[in-house]
Structure 1
């Protein structure tokens, strides 16, 4: 069995830039910069046979490269914050890719995700975090510009638990189509 998800990787420069703001909230479990990514769809535990079906379905997705910009800092959980995240500026190409991923996964027999998709990059888990520091952190960092980056591929990834924490592995890469201009 493998625990899998579909994601967009972040350029290492952007991961490092985000890593610079990670800190200052006691008890928060910060995500290490090299593990930062944008999840397109969490799938969960699947057999190796199902993993092959999912890979085949995702390989049929056509998309063009597009630019994506991280925008703002916020949290999920309302009065009981659970996750601190960097948001994504509204982007129709991202939403189209997300929809295509969902359709491909449905064809592979993966049950639909009924939750509304909120594109984000998880920065920290907040279960034991000092909540009194959270509002100040968000206010202080919310207007930082993280810049745009080109999305030229998406990834099928697996996560594995160990004593050292969670480790990610890229199972497959799916490249954007690039059409030559012969005009």
Structure 2
């Protein structure tokens, strides 16, 4: 079984802008910059023949290149924060690409994540972080603006679990945009 998701890579200069935010939050397990991405669709665990079908089908998605930017930060988990993130500004092109990735998976019988699409870059997962701490961190960094950068490709990533360690995200397929 392999665990897959589609995502946009984050360029080094944007990762450089995000790293200074990774401090001052109780209970945060900060992500390595190599994990920075914008998830387009999470597909979960599947057997390799199904993954190969997904790769082919996603490779047929036609979408233009488009610009992305970061506008502020936020957290998931209204009363019990579970993660903090940099907010990626929504664009029609980004929404269409995410929708097509999810529709493609659905057509293959792969149930994509049911959560609504919210473009973001996860910076940390939280463990018992008080709501007030997440709110203070978010207020401190809400002024963050970064970009724009051009999305010229997206990847199919494999999430590889390692016992006792953080997961590793490996791009297993690359799809050009434009």
Q: Which residue in the other structure is 2:18 paired with?
A: 18
Q: How far has the Cα of 1:24 moved from its partner?
A: 0.6
Q: Does 1:65 align with 2:70?
A: no
* In structure 2, C-alpha distance between the alignment counterparts of 1:47 and 1:107, rounded to whole Å: 17
Determine the structure 1 residue equivalent to 2:175.
174
In the aligned structure 2, how far is the partner of 1:165 from the partner of 1:112? 23
| Cα RMSD for the two superposed structures | 1.3
User: 2:105 is paired with a residue of what secondary structure?
Assistant: helix
Q: Match for residue 109 of structure 1?
A: 109
Mark the runs of 5 or more structure 2 residues left unpaired by the alignment.
none
- Asked if structure 2 preserves the Cα contact closer than 8 Å seen for 1:25 and 1:130, the reply is no
How far the C-alpha of 1:107 sits from its partner, in A, is 2.4
Quote how far apart the aligned CAs of 1:114 are.
3.1
More divergent stretch after superposition (58-67 vs 122-131): 122-131
| Structure 1 residues 125-164: aligned runs within 5 Å | 125-162=125-162, 163-164=164-165
Q: How far did residue 102 of structure 1 move?
A: 1.6
Unmatched 5+ stretches in structure 1: 178-183
5 Å-filtered alignment, 1:77-116, equals 77-116=77-116
Aligned partner of residue 24 in structure 1, secondary structure: coil
Whole-angstrom distance in 2 between the partners of 1:130 and 1:106: 37
CA distance, structure 1, for counterparts of residue 34 and residue 113 of structure 2: 27
Please state how far the C-alpha of 1:112 moved relative to its aligned partner.
Answer: 4.5
State how many pairs are aligned: 177
CA–CA distance in structure 1, aligned partners of residues 50 and 32 of structure 2: 30
Whole-Å separation in 1 of the counterparts to 2:79 and 2:33: 27
Moved segments of 4+, more than 3 Å: none
- For 1:36, the equivalent position in structure 2 comes to 36
SS across alignment from 2:116? coil
Q: Is the CA contact (8 Å cut-off) linking 2:81 and 2:130 kept in structure 1? A: no
Q: CA deviation at 1:113?
A: 3.7
Q: For residues 109 and 134 of structure 2, what CA distance do their matches in structure 1 show?
A: 40
C-alpha separation in 2, matches of 1:146 and 1:78: 25
